Structure 1
């Protein structure tokens, strides 16, 4: 077996892409998208039909001019997600506009709208994960959505405080960003990387905490920079990986050993964090503060780029 096949026996591999060709090629259980990936997909000639269909659908609904651009973008995201859902047996993740990350009620409303669109196109909500930035507001929005039967993927997760709050909110899945954590330390504290990759170690710590306390939230490592980081998390619930790294794993025949092990206990759950405790604990991690804000800005920038591109179709 190649490394990809060996790793697949220990961990559910997810393709991190909006490109259907990559999804068909690797046959993953699930697929994840984000504003950057949707924007990239929307620029491909093969996906232009989705933009035309989205514009036509919004015009037929007589959506107000000031809301048209946002609505078309939602339709494009859902149409890409629907196309992906037809090729994966599991779920597809679709992200809420990053500019809403600090508005709980706006996140809830947008999530409901996206799920309603999916259902209009024949995709049931159990096939979809709504992605929200793991801000305090995003986590609280996810808790409400989960109670409504809408599964959530909390993304841009960098601090242990974020991970704890997500588990306490009983969200379906979290996406700790391995590569971006490592990037931060590599640029500022390279000596830390000599003994352990801090991005990998972050996921190991979260995984151990979740399993030892019996939390059901799925841990899905994300944002990998190389195959070694992926292999170092063999045994994690899920890992979402770019097509480039998946190809490297397929071409390798390096042996893979489980590095994360399932442990649970019957001890009482830790006391739930308050908002002030969450904000303080998160604030104590300068890497997490910086990378969360940066990630929201980058996703918002790509959302705006997509809007600018789509505006040319009106």
Structure 2
């Protein structure tokens, strides 16, 4: 009898999410959920599997009336939903689709865009129960999530770097949060000029702190750690509610048949941290006092916005051609 791979062991205690839009990778690793962002959509539409999807979206865009910029944005949005639709047909769980990064500080526009994304999925035959609307963890984004959750639209609050963001998301009844393990590590490696073992990794410790807070206080918001730099980081968070992992790291886990220890367990969370009341002033002050979180949140929004512009440029070129 063959020993179970670390990936199989991980799947037995954690919901594994594929951090990719690559259909072949999804078929190979059979994750429960998928997550996308402008970076992943941009990579996905360059794959042969999406040639027909891109061609259909460009054809549709060419039939639109109005200004060119509006058509480009509409086609880019359509592509994101088209990629998500293909993924939703492959996985048994949820697909996260991101609201445009340039709306990260606009609550009303985020809500409106989220509603339109859900409507576009419905037109493709995908129910809202299959979709998570992905929103940056700004104060404005979290307020949009609060509105959407009341409407029955589940949200994934991304770019989480500080416990204050996690607490605000819990108060807003967000369905899920995505703390960015690897990007937290990146900042500390650069700032402190040293490497970190998984058990002292600042990104790992941040997720463990959030997990402990949520489980101690009966908070139902799902913790889905993201942005991993190594197998060691994944192993250090085995047992977390969900982990979204790149195909490269999934490959390494699938090839390793060594034992995998559970590191997070709701039945063994240790001493409960104090409950925190957090208003806007306290939220902004906490973020101000955490230079890593402030810098990484801003950087993450800029990077997603850059890739969104690249996707729109690709669309503009195809429309012009």
Q: Which residue of 1 aligns with 2:311?
A: 306
Q: Which residue of 2 aligns with 1:249?
A: 253
CA distance in 1, matches of 2:193, 2:257: 29
Q: CA deviation at 1:312?
A: 1.2
Aligned residues: 313
Q: Which residue of 2 aligns with 1:47?
A: 50
Q: Note the aligned Cα RMSD (angstroms).
A: 1.8
Q: Is 2:285 the counterpart of 1:283?
A: no
Q: CA deviation at 1:42?
A: 1.3
Out of 204, 209, 227, the residue aligned to residue 205 of structure 1 is 209
CA distance in 2, matches of 1:249, 1:270: 36
Alignment TM-score, normalising by the size of structure 2? 0.93
Q: Which residue of 1 aligns with 2:239?
A: 235
Question: Matched residue of 1:94: which SS?
Answer: strand
Q: Is 2:131 the counterpart of 1:132?
A: no
Any idea what the Cα deviations from partners look like across 1:118-156, whole Å, max 9, x if unmatched? 000000000000100000000000010011111100001
Pairing of 1:1-314 with structure 2 (within 5 A)? 1-60=4-63, 62=65, 64-190=67-193, 193=196, 196-263=200-267, 270=275, 272-314=277-319
CA distance in 2, matches of 1:55, 1:192: 46
CA distance in 1, matches of 2:230, 2:62: 44
Any idea what the Cα deviations from partners look like across 1:201-260, whole Å, max 9, x if unmatched? 000000000000111000000000111100110110000000000000011122111111
Any idea what the Cα deviations from partners look like across 1:52-108, whole Å, max 9, x if unmatched? 211233444545433111110110000000000110000000001101101111111
Q: Is the 8 A contact 2:96 2:131 kept in 1?
A: yes
Q: 1:210 to 1:192 in 2, by over 3 A?
A: farther
- What stretches of structure 1 move > 6 A for 4+ residues in a row? none
CA distance in 2, matches of 1:62, 1:167: 42
Structure 1 unpaired stretches of 5+: none
Q: CA deviation at 1:46?
A: 2.5
CA distance in 1, matches of 2:178, 2:152: 20
Q: CA deviation at 1:273?
A: 1.3
CA distance in 2, matches of 1:190, 1:238: 30
Q: Is the 8 A contact 1:30 1:88 kept in 2?
A: yes
Q: Is the 8 A contact 2:167 2:276 kept in 1?
A: no
CA distance in 1, matches of 2:232, 2:276: 36
Alignment TM-score, normalising by the size of structure 1? 0.95
Q: CA deviation at 1:313?
A: 1.4
Q: Is the 8 A contact 1:207 1:219 kept in 2?
A: yes
CA distance in 2, matches of 1:75, 1:231: 36
